[in-house]
Structure 1
Amino acid sequence: MSAAQPTTLAGGPLAPGDIPSGWLTSQEAAARAARGLVNVDTSRLRSDADVIRANVLTFFNVILAVLIAGLLFVGQYRDAFFVGIVTAANVVVSTIQELRATRTLRRLRALTAPRVHVIRDGVESAILAQHVVQGDLIHLRPGDQVVADGHVVARSAEVDESLLTGESDAVLKKPGDELLSGSFCTAGDLFYRAERVGNDAYIVRLTADARQLVRRLTPLQIRFRRILRMLLIATGVLGAALMVQYNVQERGFTESLTATTALITTVVPVGLLLGMTVAFAVGAVRVSRAGAIVQDISAVEALNYTDVICLDKTGTITANQLELERVEWMPGMEGYRPWLAAFAVATENDSKTAGALAAALGHERNAAQPTGKVPFSSERRWSALELTLGSERRAFVLGAPETVLALCEGGEALREAYERAAERGLRGVVFAEAPKLPSLDGAVGRLRPLGLALLRDVLRPEVREAFALMEQLGIEPKIISGDNPQTVAALLGQLQVRLKGGVISGPELEGLAPEAFARAVEEHSIFGRIAPHQKAAIVDALRRNRHFVAMVGDGANDVQALRAADVAVAMASGTSMTRAVAGIVLLRDSFEALIRGAREATFVLGNTARLSKLFLAKSIYAYLLIVATNLLGLDFPFLPRQGSVTALLTLGIPAIFISISVPPPEAGRDFTRNVLRFALPASAAAAVAAIGVHLFTQGLLGRDIAEARTLVSLTLGIIGLIFVIEVLGLEGASWRSLTRPVMTFVLAGVLLAGLVFTVYVDWLRDFFGFTAVGAWEWSIVLTAVALAIAGQYVFSRYWPQILDWLTGAHLEAQAARGRAI
C-alpha cells in the first residue's frame, strides 16, 4: 500500500502480504551480532582514570611531588604537609570539574529512540536500537527515528532531516532512496534495510568529535599560562642556583631542599589557580540565574571577549512552532470554517501546519468524522481528507498555494494575498474542495478554492530585546540557517531588527576562494541554505578574522560548528549531542539568557583581576626578596610552612571573599595594565621592607635566623593584609556606600588577629618555627610596614616621573639640541 493512496484511518497489525521480503531469521541475526555487526557505538570515551591522570600528572604537580617526597625523606614533615595541602586542593577542584564534564559526555548517545520495529522470521517485533544488526529489515513509522543508515525497500514516507541538514521541510523518501541515521519519520511509513550500523552510521560519524572533551582556553587563561611559564622558568633558574650554592657552602641537603621548596611554593602563584576556579564557579552560578546551565566554567569568563554570536533561525529566533494569523476566504465561503476546523483536528498530528490550525480553529469544528485520507507528500505538496457529517460526505484538499491553486478554478484573489504575505515571511496553505477524494493516479479533478490560511513562525518574545542588548554590548549577530535566507530576513523584519550585513546563501559561498569566503563571511549577516560543514567553515573564518565567536545550536548539524567556536552554547531542547559538547546550555531555549550572561561574566573578569593583583604582587616580592637575601649573604628569609600560613591569611582566605563579591564596574578593564599597575609598586615596596627587616635583624643586630624569619613573616603578613584592604575594600569604593570598606577592615582585623595568635600561642609558635615577639620587635615590623605602604603610594602615583628620572628622560630635551648626527 502506497502512502499516496487513499486509505482508511484505522490502523492494525501488518498482514503477511504487507511485509516485503529480505528479512533476517533469528539465527542469521544472532550470527551477525556475534561477528560484531551490531548497532553499538564502540568509540572510546574518556575514562575516570584518564581524567585523574591528566590532572595529577602535570609538570608543576610532578615537581611539587618530588619536593614533598624530598622533605619527607629528610624529616621536614610540617613543611611537606603545608605544601601538600595547596597542591592537593588544586588537583581535587580541577579533577572534580573535569570528571563532571566527562561523565556528561559519557552519557551522550546520538540515538534517542530506545526501540525500533524490525522484521525477523517474517514477524514484526520491537527491539532496542543497539540490538539492530547489519542487514535487518526495519519498519519506520510516524515518530520513529532512523537508527541506522540504509536504503528504502518498500513504501514511502516523509522524513525530517533538520537535525542533520538544518532544513526544516520534510523530505519524501521512496524505494531506492537513502535514509541517514538521526532523521525522523513525520508521515507515512516505509521499510528500509540497515546497511551501516554502529560506528559506521552517519549520526555517529557526524558527532564523533562530540565524544571528546573540548578544552577551550580563554584569553585570560592564555595570559595566565604565559605568566606562569615565565615565573616557572625564572624560579627554576633561581632554584637550581640555590641548590648549587647551598651545597657548595656545605649547608647540607636538608637546608637546600627546604629553601628550594619555599622558593617554588612562594613565587609560583598556585593559589591563584584555585582562586580563578572559584571565581569562574561563582560566575557560573550568576549566569545560571539569567537562565542558563554552565557545564564548562571557563566558558563564563570567555563571554567577556565575545564579539560575534552565530545563531540558527529555528529554535533561537523562532520557537520552532507555527501560529495561525488569519484565514483569507473567497467571497461567500466563510461558512466552510467548521469544515476546515474538522480537517485540521483530524490531521493535527501529521504536521506542524495542521497542528497550528487545530490549535486555533479546533473549538469551531463541526461533528464531521474522517472516512478516507491521502497523507501529505513533498512531491504532491498537499494532503486530502474525506469527511462525513450524517449523510453528507465531502472531500477537501489542504496544501501549498503553488500546487493547489494550479488545480483550482479561479482563486486569483488568494494568489495575490499569498504573494503579499510571503514578502512578510508568512507561510500559507490553501483549503479547497474536491469533487471526490483524490486517487493514486493524480485524478484530483478541478478544485474549488475556499480560503487561504496564513501562518507565521512563532517568534520568541525576548528576541528583540536580546538584539538590542547585543548592540549595547558591541556583539554582532550572524544568522546561520538551513532555510531560505530571504525568509530569515523577513522574519527579522517582523521583529524590526536591522542587521548591518547583507544576505547570502550556501550555494553562493560554496565556490568561493578562501580569501573571498572570509570577506563574504565578514560582510554578510544572514546565511541561508547552509550545510553543516559550511557552519563550521563560517565560524573558522570569523575566528581567522580575529573575532571571538560564540555559536548557538540545537541539532546534530551544529556539532562541528559548536566545536569550532570559542564559546559553544546549546538549547536545552536540542539533541543530547549538542548539550554535551556545549559549555553553556540555555534553559527555556532563550538565547536572551546568553546575552544577559555576557553582562554577568564581567564580574568574573573583575574578580580575577583583583585576585591577580594580590597573587602576582606576592610572587614578585617573594622572588625579589629571595634574590636580594642571597646576594647579601643572608639566610633564606622564611620556611615553607611560614610562607604557607602567611599566604593563607593574606591570600587564601581573602581570595574566597573576593571570588564571591561583586567587583567595581571597572575592575576588569584593561586587564594586564590594571593588574601590573598595582602589582609592581606593591611588590617592590613589600620586597624592600622585608629585605630591610631581614638585613637589620640578622645583619646589623646579629639576631639568629629564626628571629629574622619571624619578623619578615610578620612584616609581609601585615603588608599583605593592607593590600587586601586596598583591593577588596577601597578599590572603587564611594562615601555613599561604606559597607564594603567597613566589612573589609573587619575581615583584615580578624586575619591579623589570627597571625598574631600564631606568634603568641606556644604550640603554634613552635609548630611554625616562630620566636617570641616583644615591643622592640613590633616597632621594627610596624616601621617597615609604614615605610612600605608610603613607598607603594609614592611609586604607584608618580611612577612615570620616577622612571623618567631614573632613565634620565628629563635630560632628553637638552641632549636633543643641535644638528642631528
Structure 2
Amino acid sequence: MPAATRVDTPGPRVPPRSGRPAYDNGPVTTPGDATLTRPDGLTSAEVADRVARGAVNRLSERTSRSIGEIVRANVLTRFNAILGALFVLVMVTGSFADGLFGIVLVVNSAIGIVQEYLAKRKLDQLALLNAPTTRVLRDGEVRVVATTEVVQDDLIELRTGDEVPADGVLIASAGLELNEANLTGESDPVPHAEGDEIMSGTSVVAGSGRYHAQQVGADAYVNRIAADARKFTRTRSEIQESINTLLRYITWVIVGALPIAIWSQWRTVGDQGWREVVIRSAAGVVGLVPEGLVLLTSVAFLLSAVQLTRRNVLVQQLPAVEGLARVDVVCLDKTGTLTAGEIAFEDAHALEGQDADEIRCALGALADDPNANGTLTAVAAVVGPPGWERTQTIPFNSSRKWSAACFAGRSTWVLGAPEVLLAADPQPSPPEVLDRIRAQVAELADSGRRVVLLARSEAHLTDATLPADLTPAALVTLTEQVRPDAKDTLAYFAEQDVAIKVISGDNPVTVASVGRTVGLDVGEPVDARTLPDDEDALREVLATHTVFGRVTPEQKRAFVHALQADGHVVAMTGDGVNDALALKDADIGVAMGNGAQATKAVAELVLLDGRFSHLPDVLAEGRRVIGNVERVANLFVAKNAMSLVAILAAALIAVPFPFLPRHLTLVSAVTIGIPAFFLALGPNQRRYLPGFLGRILRFAVPSGAVAGVAVITAYLLAGSSYGVPRDQFADRCAVEAGAKTVTDVACWQTGSGATITLLTVFFWILVVLARPFRLWKGVLVGAMVGLAVVAFVWPFAARFFNLDAPLPLVWQSLAIGAAGAAVVEVVYRLSPSVRQAHHLRD
C-alpha cells in the first residue's frame, strides 16, 4: 500500500517522498465485510450502503437542546404551573385585568424560547464548522470528513493530534503511540504496532497509522463505558447553582404560604364572595413567584455566548462564560499562546569536529517525515531532503522530548532537548565538552531563541531508548514570533488581579526571555524536572514563581491540581495534545482553534482564530453576566420577601391582602421586569467576588421585608382615612361575575396607597442596585418612574389598574415609602460585602 499522504482535502493520492515508510495492508476481517482487503478504502457506493444501514459513527452528544426540549424547558416549569393555575382561577372570576400576569407569563416563555432557538442556530452552525474531523481513504483518495460521517469498515488514517474515532485493529503503524488516559487513567503514551486493537476515545500523541473502523457510533467502546473520562462534564456555574438553590427555597415558601393566604383572605373578605378570595389570594402568591429570574439568567448566558461568537470565540458550554470571570489564575502554554505557534528554522551551529554539510543533510533527512512535529516542519521549509533511505523512526514524544531516525549506510540521528540528550548515561563526550555546549545553549536561549540539540550515533535503534554512543553534533536554533497582542492581554490580566503562570515544555531560560518580551515579571524561571512530586511542596513553588520550563504533560495536569487545591479557580490554555489532560481538569479549558482535535474536544472555550487577545472579551462577558444577574436576582428576591411578609402580616392582623394582582403586575413591570431586562444585558465590569447567593439573601430579604412592613403600614393608614368603610365593602367593592373592574373609585384608594408606598421602596431598591449610576441607568429609572406616574394620572390606565389616590393620600403614602427607602439604604450600608460588590462594578 502507498505511504500515508499529507493531503487534507479530497484529491488524488500523492506518491511518498523518499525515505518514508510504506504501509502494507493485508487481509482484514471486519464485522461489515468478511474479506475487505482493498488498500484504497471503501467506494462511494459502499459508504452510501452503510449510511443506509445506519452503520455510521453518529454519537448522542449534541451542541444544544432540540426545539421540543427548548419549548418544554421554557414552558413546563413549576412556577409556570403555579402561575398558570392562578391565571385560570382569576379568569374564572371574570376579573380579566387581574389576569394580566398571565400575559407576562406567556411573553416570558416566548422570549426564552425565541432567544434560545436563535442562539441554538448560531451555536449549532459554529459547532458544525468546528466539528472534529477524520481522515479516511475512499475511492483511493485521502479525504477529510466529519467524525460523525465515518462509517463501518472505513479505512482511517491517524496522525499526531488526532482522536481515534472508532474501534478497530491496526493494519499499519509507524511509531504510533496513543494516550489512553481517557480509558485507563494512565497518562503514559502506549505504543501500538500492526495487529493491535485500538479504541475510540484515545488520541494520537506520536507516530501515525491506519486501521479499519470496526465498531462505530453507539457500538464503539468509548460510548459503552460509564466512567469514560471523555464523557461530557458540565462546567460548574455558581450562578446556576445559587439560582437553583434559591428556587428550591422559594418553592417551599410558596407551599407554606399558599394555604395561609387562602385561609386569611377567606376570613377577611369571604363575605364578599369566593371571587374576591381568589383574587386577593392570587395576588399574594403571584408576588412569591420569580417568574422572570430564570428567563433573564438564561438569556444573559445565551446572548453572551452569541456575542462571543462574533469575536471568534466558540462557547461549548454556556456556564464557561461565567466560569472564566471567576478565574484568578491563568496557566499559559508559551507556544501558540504568547507566541504565534509557528517557529522558523534559523541556523544549525556545528559543534567542534562535525561536518556542517553532513549536519544539514541529516536535518533534511530527519525533516523528510510524514509525521513531522513542529520543529522538523520548520526545518523542512528551509532544508530539502537529501534522498537518504530511512530504515527506522522513533517519533517525537513530549514526555521524552526527542525523536530519532536511522538511515541505510549512515549514522542514526537524534534531535531533542539539549538537557535531555546531554544527560544521557553513559555519555561518550568529555565533561568539559558538555559544559561548553551547555554554556552555548544558555547563551542562545538567553537571546530568546529556541535551541535543540542534534546528536549522532552509530547504533541502530529498535526502541525509544537513547544509544550509549550518543555524540553531540550541532545546536539548531529556531525563532518564535511573539504575538503582537500578548503584551496588552497580559497587562489586562494584571490589572484584573489575575495571576499568570507560563507553563511550557521548552527551555525555562527561553520561556523567561519570551515572558520578558511580553512584559511579565518572570522572576527566576523554574526547570520543572527539579520540581517535587509532593502536591504541598508543588503548591509552594507555584505560589512564588511565574515561569516554568521543561514541563511534561503529567506535570501540567499536576500544576492545575495543585493550584486548585490552593483554592484557585484555574484556566488553562493550550493547543497541543500534551495540553489536553490539563485542559480537561482545569476549571476552564481554553483551546486554540488551530490546535489538535483532542484538545478542542475537551475545552469549554475554543478561540477559533487562535488569538489569545480574545480572553479579555470572555472575561468581560463573564463579569457582565455575574454582576447583572446578581442585580436582577436581588430585585426578584426582594419582591418575594415583600409578598411573604405582606401575606403573613395580613393573616396576623386579619386584613385583606393589600393588592390586587393587577397592582403587583404594574409594580413588577416598572421596578423589576423592564429594568431587569436592561440591567441584565447592560455593561458591567465588576470583578468577581465569591458568595453570590449569600449577598443576595443579605440584601434582598431584609429589603423586601422592609417593603412588606411599609406596605401594610400604608394600607392600614389609608384604610383609616380613605376608601370604603368595612361594613360597606361587600356591597360597594366586591367583584361581580363577569365584571372587569370595580367602578366605585373609593374602593381603590387603600390599595392605591399601598401601591404608591411599594413603588417608592422598590424604586429605591432599584437605585441601590443600579449603582454606580451612569446616564443610561438614570434614563432607565426616570422612564420607569414616568410610566408609574402615567398609570395614576391617565384616566384609562387608572381605571384599568384600579388606582385612585387623592393628593393627601399620595403624600402620606410617599412619606411611608420614603421611610422604607431610608431603611433600605441603611440595610445596604450595613452590608459590607454588598457595598464592596457595588464599588467594583462598571
TM over 0.5: yes
Q: Report whether the alignment pairs 1:21 with 2:63.
A: no
Residue 476 (structure 2) aligned to one of 435, 442, 453 = 453
Q: Show the counterpart of 1:710.
A: 752
One-letter code aligned to 1:720: F
For 1:492-535, what per-residue CA distance to the aligned partner results, in whole angstroms no more than 9, with x for missing partners? 565256489977679985xxxxxx65775676576944459x94
Q: Show the counterpart of 2:454.
A: 430
Residue 788 (structure 1) aligned to one of 804, 812, 817 = 817
Q: Report whether the alignment pairs 1:758 with 2:791.
A: yes
Residue 218 (structure 1) aligned to one of 237, 250, 259 = 237
Structure-2 separation of matches of 1:96 and 1:27: 51
One-letter code aligned to 2:261: L
Q: Show the counterpart of 1:355.
A: 377
Structure-2 separation of matches of 1:294 and 1:190: 32
Q: Show the counterpart of 1:611.
A: 632
Q: Report whether the alignment pairs 1:93 with 2:112.
A: yes
One-letter code aligned to 2:415: A
Deviation at 1:243, TM superposition (A): 1.5
One-letter code aligned to 1:115: V
CA contact (8 A) 1:612 1:675 kept: yes
Deviation at 1:111, TM superposition (A): 5.5
Residue 291 (structure 2) aligned to one of 238, 246, 270 = 270
Deviates more, 1:670-679 or 1:222-231: 670-679
SS, match of residue 175 in structure 1:
coil
One-letter code aligned to 1:785: L
One-letter code aligned to 1:573: N
Structure-1 separation of matches of 2:753 and 2:812: 12
Structure-1 separation of matches of 2:394 and 2:780: 71
Structure-2 separation of matches of 1:285 and 1:34: 33
Residue 632 (structure 1) aligned to one of 649, 653, 656 = 653
Structure-2 separation of matches of 1:267 and 1:676: 15
Change (3 A) 1:39 1:419: farther
Deviation at 1:377, TM superposition (A): 0.8
Deviation at 1:76, TM superposition (A): 4.2
For 1:157-194, what per-residue CA distance to the aligned partner results, in whole angstroms no more than 9, with x for missing partners? 2447579799999997543555555656987x765455
Structure-1 separation of matches of 2:83 and 2:785: 29
Q: Show the counterpart of 1:40.
A: 57
For 1:64-121, what per-residue CA distance to the aligned partner results, in whole angstroms no more than 9, with x for missing partners? 2322333344444443342342365157427854872995798599851253359xxx
Change (3 A) 1:788 1:112: same
Residue 400 (structure 1) aligned to one of 415, 431, 434 = 415
CA contact (8 A) 1:609 1:668 kept: no
Q: Report whether the alignment pairs 1:767 with 2:796.
A: no
Q: Show the counterpart of 1:737.
A: none
SS, match of residue 256 in structure 1:
helix
Change (3 A) 1:796 1:3: closer
Change (3 A) 1:560 1:719: same
Length-normalised TM-score, structure 1: 0.71
Change (3 A) 1:637 1:480: same
Change (3 A) 1:631 1:416: same
SS, match of residue 137 in structure 2:
strand
Deviation at 1:44, TM superposition (A): 6.4
Structure-2 separation of matches of 1:448 and 1:320: 30
SS, match of residue 638 in structure 1:
coil
Q: Show the counterpart of 2:393.
A: 377
Q: How does 1:298-337 map to 2 (within 5 A)?
A: 298-310=319-331, 315-316=336-337, 320-330=341-351
Structure-2 separation of matches of 1:175 and 1:64: 65
One-letter code aligned to 2:754: V
Structure-1 separation of matches of 2:56 and 2:823: 72
Give % identity: 27
SS, match of residue 706 in structure 1:
helix
Q: Show the counterpart of 1:69.
A: 88
Residue 244 (structure 1) aligned to one of 255, 258, 263 = 263
Deviation at 1:328, TM superposition (A): 0.9
CA contact (8 A) 2:577 2:596 kept: yes
Aligned length: 748
SS, match of residue 133 in structure 2:
coil
Change (3 A) 1:601 1:54: closer
CA contact (8 A) 1:210 1:559 kept: no
Change (3 A) 1:789 1:489: farther
Deviates more, 1:174-183 or 1:692-701: 174-183
One-letter code aligned to 1:354: L
Structure-1 separation of matches of 2:159 and 2:649: 80
CA contact (8 A) 1:428 1:454 kept: yes
SS, match of residue 134 in structure 2:
coil
Q: Show the counterpart of 2:277.
A: 256
CA contact (8 A) 2:178 2:190 kept: yes
Change (3 A) 1:474 1:246: same
CA contact (8 A) 1:108 1:580 kept: no
Structure-2 separation of matches of 1:490 and 1:237: 66
Structure-2 separation of matches of 1:586 and 1:287: 10
Residue 808 (structure 2) aligned to one of 779, 786, 789 = 779
Structure-2 separation of matches of 1:22 and 1:289: 47
Deviation at 1:639, TM superposition (A): 1.8
Q: Show the counterpart of 1:390.
A: none
CA contact (8 A) 2:756 2:813 kept: no
For 1:259-293, what per-residue CA distance to the aligned partner results, in whole angstroms no more than 9, with x for missing partners? 33322332333334444445556665786788744
CA contact (8 A) 1:299 1:584 kept: yes
Deviation at 1:344, TM superposition (A): 8.5
Q: Show the counterpart of 1:732.
A: 772
One-letter code aligned to 2:785: L
For 1:404-425, what per-residue CA distance to the aligned partner results, in whole angstroms no more than 9, with x for missing partners? x999999999966654466659
Q: How does 1:571-586 map to 2 (within 5 A)?
A: 571-574=592-595, 579=600, 582-586=603-607
Change (3 A) 1:767 1:212: farther
SS, match of residue 585 in structure 1:
strand
SS, match of residue 116 in structure 1:
strand
CA contact (8 A) 2:346 2:478 kept: yes
Length-normalised TM-score, structure 2: 0.69
CA contact (8 A) 1:550 1:567 kept: yes
For 1:763-797, what per-residue CA distance to the aligned partner results, in whole angstroms no more than 9, with x for missing partners? 433433x1455xxx133123321343245336744
Deviation at 1:241, TM superposition (A): 0.9
One-letter code aligned to 2:786: A
CA contact (8 A) 2:768 2:825 kept: no
Extract unaligned runs of 5+ from structure 2: 5-13, 37-45, 396-401, 725-745, 831-842
Structure-1 separation of matches of 2:377 and 2:228: 36
Structure-2 separation of matches of 1:384 and 1:684: 81
